[in-house]
Structure 1
Amino acid sequence: MSGAGAWRGGAARWVVAYTVAVVGDVSYFLILTWAAAEAGGPRTSGLVLALGAVPRAVLMLLGGVLADRVDPRRIAVGTDAARALLLLLAAGAASWYGLVPWWLAVLAVAFGVVDACFIPAVGAMPVRLVPIEALPRLQAWRLTGLRVGNAVGPSLGALLVALGISAALASVAVLFAISVVLLLTVRSRPGEGPAPAAAAPAPPLRLSRLRQEGLVPLVVGTALSELPFSGPVAIGVVLLAQERGWPVASAGGVLAAFSVGGLVVSVLLATIPTQPLGRRATLAALWPTAPLLVLLGTTPVVGVAIAASGLLGAMTGTVMVLCHGRIQQSTPPALLGRVTALLSMATLGLSPLGYGAVGMIAGAWGVGVFFVLSAAVVTLAGLVLLRDRSCPPVAAPSTGGAVDHHDPRPAGADMCGE
């Protein structure tokens, strides 16, 4: 199948299915938070959310192993169907028992277990849908869907809560059911089904294996570049507005500018023709984020903070697309599920610690210091990525664009972009 045919078919439907699932996921968390607060107050809400986060973090790597052993499309279909069923059962519990903390906790834990399987499967699917040279573009579309889902989900969840918790949960179940229907129509490209090794036990993922593939700097650098932006910076912006005496709307404007900047660059990278962008392009987008973070944390002018935040969104969005695209291209398919799990653990798993660190740093030395430290983390990410020597392959012209994804280093030109 040609690259254009892939985009008209499975890849496009996969992006839509993923976006619908993200909208459902974000809406679910808002509804769950509201329901738990109604059931027992803010402390109950925090406890229920924490209970859901634990299995997601603890079981993520096991979910990665599963995605490397089983067709990830089947896992994605199964997990979306499981989430739809869980929400329908929860809607029934809300109607039958009312809002009771025990079943909300059970729902949160079960949802966390399912998410631990879904997230790595999403990371393992793209290589089966488009030619290897189109993977960065598909990642750009995926990140566009993620940003759209994060923008639409909270508003939709708030609107659904007005219908009642039972109706709200049932409505979100419909979103996951739509995702299932779309995923059932997605097929791997010819010759790009589950890896032949899938029938055998997945090889262990050790640091030595990543080092052997030349992936350690790329994976570690990507994780470090995303860590401040997985939640801590958003909290820092709110605390910064309080410290500066800005109105609440100013904090919303700063955060909105970040989202818009990231969304714009994701759409641009998704729609422009695929280009062999390599380490230099990634670093060119990453290095400005450190001074922009310092500017955001020190400026007393709201307008400057909004402009800096918009540029930050654009730069970090570019880095995410390029880094994740290179990871998709450079990682052997038999390891993609677990590599995705590692990256998710490094961001989702460490986010709660980051939330606490923001408050402690801001309380001790001021919010500006937190942004300076975040800039240091981003700078460290750049230094690590300087050591990246991964070289994503592309097909030799004589093969007509076919790439053996089970051989991570086929013959042909490279996409190092150096």
Structure 2
Amino acid sequence: MGTSLAHEPKTVRKQKFGGLLSNRQFLFLWIASIFTGLSFSIYLISETWFVLQALKAPSKLGIIMMLTTIPRVLLMSVGGVMADRIKRSHVIMITNSTRGLLVLGLALLILNSSMNLYLLGVFALLFGVLDAFFWPANQSMLPTLVKKEQIVRANSLVQTTNQLSLLTGPVIAGFMIKFGSFFGVFVCTSVLLFCSSILIEQIRYPDHPSTDNKQKEPVFRQLKEGIVYVKTVPYLLLTMATSIFVNLLLVGPLNIGLPLMVDQHLKGDVLSLSYLESSLALGMVAGAFLTGILNIKRKRPIISLSLIAVLSFLNIFLSQMTALWHGIILLSLAGVCLSISNIIAPSLVQEMTEKRMMGRVQSLMSTASMGFIPLSFALVSALLSSGLPIDIIILYSSIALTVFVLTVLWRSKTIRTID
């Protein structure tokens, strides 16, 4: 009797994941996400190091990142409506194919020694436009492919492999740049994006909404419906407001800060940066795996925000990093916190949202959170230009984020009444 009971949870977990792995449409999405995750992680670290080392423009790094995020903010709500009107797999396939062509063009310009900061800014802007249509379709597609009770585990499985991609991507990019060339690393990125597009196009699940009168309504009327819908759900409003401040105080300082701290404080190379980014991804893999095992169903808002508070507290110590191993340990722990929070919070939103509104709600949530990312990048760039050290910027932004999250946990009644 004892032996049977001891093995029961393991059997249940196998059945749950087995159900997902026997879902052919989910498998296509899952494998495609691996290629997409690899391409993104390789591209981002390559672009960052190209600005720092090839273009010798560290103070302009924030501007390049800002140019990518501005179109996302302006167009993502429209992208969400399109995700509810057009077959989502087609949207993902078109955006990834176009990305592949853009990166291939970027590689050819580098090969001809024609790439400069202004052209890179144009590429960043175009990537931002494509992101505005890719992310709402990508985020709203998974709930249409799996059962409601499988959403948390499906997200966990996708996030685990995505973080494995983010773990290996920077290392691949680091070695390709150090022992190869920027041309080679961008061609590799282009090939991965084309592979992802081919796999996504194989999905035959009827994720296109039924063709009723709603399909004939103007885009902005459907967008207004999405806004009204979000206003009726207090948790969605709270999540949007919280994510604004988290992205304002976390994204800019960390994304711009890590490359600069490696380059200026640690005097490291691209491999040092790849080790730090991979350690963050390793922590996120561990967090995603842990979430999949635990399948957290209770007090998710409280757990999510508490982990963000721990993450911001770890960043306080990260700002004082003096050795590579110091950063690796802190970022690994931060990755665990970030991963668990990034799985359970969106999973709750997906469970609470009607499928017909999924694209619009996801785009509005993303727009709200990303709306302050350009401002975050701009503020960090301005502070750096004024002579403020990056370690001080990370320190004070992390302290501010810790205080903010703890205040929300203390004052908000909504998060205490939802599981």
Settle same-fold status: TM greater than 0.5.
Answer: yes
Q: Determine if contact 2:64/2:120 at 8 Å carries over to the other structure.
A: yes
| CA shift for structure 1 position 210 | 0.8
AA matched with 1:184: E
Match of 1:186 among 173, 188, 203: 203
SS at match of 1:230: helix
| CA shift for structure 1 position 234 | 6.2
Q: Determine if contact 1:195/1:333 at 8 Å carries over to the other structure.
A: no
Q: Determine if contact 2:35/2:192 at 8 Å carries over to the other structure.
A: yes
CA distance in structure 2 between the partners assigned to 1:75 and 1:282 by the alignment: 31
Match of 1:80 among 96, 113, 117: 96
Deviation per residue, 1:203-224 (Å, 9 max, x gap): 2246432122443224434555
CA distance in structure 2 between the partners assigned to 1:166 and 1:363 by the alignment: 30
1:155 aligns with 2:171: yes
1:7 aligns with 2:34: no
SS at match of 2:414: coil
Task: Return closer, same or farther for 1:294/1:106 CA change in 2, 3 Å cut-off.
Answer: closer
1:264 aligns with 2:264: no
Deviation per residue, 1:254-279 (Å, 9 max, x gap): 87665433321201223x3756x14x
AA matched with 1:170: V
Larger relative contact order (C-alpha < 8 A, sep ≥ 6)?
2
AA matched with 2:106: A
CA distance in structure 2 between the partners assigned to 1:143 and 1:223 by the alignment: 22
For residue 21 of structure 1, what is the aligned residue in structure 2?
36
For residue 353 of structure 1, what is the aligned residue in structure 2?
375
Match of 2:152 among 118, 136, 142: 136
Task: Return closer, same or farther for 1:100/1:352 CA change in 2, 3 Å cut-off.
Answer: closer
Q: Determine if contact 1:52/1:112 at 8 Å carries over to the other structure.
A: yes
SS at match of 1:99: coil
For residue 171 of structure 1, what is the aligned residue in structure 2?
188
Q: Determine if contact 1:68/1:335 at 8 Å carries over to the other structure.
A: yes
For residue 238 of structure 2, what is the aligned residue in structure 1?
217
For residue 232 of structure 1, what is the aligned residue in structure 2?
253
* More divergent stretch after superposition (157-166 vs 18-27): 157-166
CA distance in structure 2 between the partners assigned to 1:301 and 1:25 by the alignment: 26
CA distance in structure 2 between the partners assigned to 1:131 and 1:356 by the alignment: 41
| CA shift for structure 1 position 329 | 1.2
| CA shift for structure 1 position 95 | 4.2
CA distance in structure 2 between the partners assigned to 1:154 and 1:344 by the alignment: 25
CA distance in structure 2 between the partners assigned to 1:94 and 1:246 by the alignment: 28
Q: Determine if contact 1:240/1:367 at 8 Å carries over to the other structure.
A: no
| CA shift for structure 1 position 70 | 1.0
CA distance in structure 2 between the partners assigned to 1:247 and 1:7 by the alignment: 45
Task: Return closer, same or farther for 1:145/1:382 CA change in 2, 3 Å cut-off.
Answer: farther
For residue 142 of structure 2, what is the aligned residue in structure 1?
126
CA distance in structure 2 between the partners assigned to 1:335 and 1:380 by the alignment: 31
For residue 379 of structure 1, what is the aligned residue in structure 2?
406
* More divergent stretch after superposition (365-374 vs 292-301): 292-301
Q: TM-score, normalised by structure 2?
A: 0.74
Percent identity (aligned): 21
For residue 4 of structure 2, what is the aligned residue in structure 1?
none
Match of 1:89 among 77, 97, 105: 105
For residue 67 of structure 1, what is the aligned residue in structure 2?
83
SS at match of 2:223: coil
For residue 303 of structure 2, what is the aligned residue in structure 1?
284
Q: Determine if contact 1:128/1:193 at 8 Å carries over to the other structure.
A: no
Greater helix share, structure number:
2
* More divergent stretch after superposition (349-358 vs 57-66): 349-358
| CA shift for structure 1 position 247 | 9.3
Task: Return closer, same or farther for 1:240/1:25 CA change in 2, 3 Å cut-off.
Answer: closer
| CA shift for structure 1 position 136 | 1.6
Q: Determine if contact 1:40/1:101 at 8 Å carries over to the other structure.
A: yes
Q: Determine if contact 2:43/2:189 at 8 Å carries over to the other structure.
A: yes
AA matched with 1:11: F
Task: Return closer, same or farther for 1:133/1:218 CA change in 2, 3 Å cut-off.
Answer: farther
CA distance in structure 2 between the partners assigned to 1:242 and 1:109 by the alignment: 25
* More divergent stretch after superposition (200-209 vs 254-263): 254-263
AA matched with 2:21: W
Task: Return closer, same or farther for 1:247/1:222 CA change in 2, 3 Å cut-off.
Answer: same
Task: Return closer, same or farther for 1:285/1:338 CA change in 2, 3 Å cut-off.
Answer: closer
CA distance in structure 2 between the partners assigned to 1:91 and 1:314 by the alignment: 34
Task: Return closer, same or farther for 1:341/1:307 CA change in 2, 3 Å cut-off.
Answer: same
* 5+ long unaligned stretches in structure 2: 1-15
- Aligned pairs for 1:306-325 within 5 A: 310-325=332-347
CA distance in structure 2 between the partners assigned to 1:57 and 1:141 by the alignment: 28
Q: Determine if contact 2:254/2:394 at 8 Å carries over to the other structure.
A: no
SS at match of 2:204: coil
CA distance in structure 1 between the partners assigned to 2:393 and 2:55 by the alignment: 33
| CA shift for structure 1 position 125 | 0.4
| Corresponding residue pairs, total | 385
Task: Return closer, same or farther for 1:288/1:106 CA change in 2, 3 Å cut-off.
Answer: closer
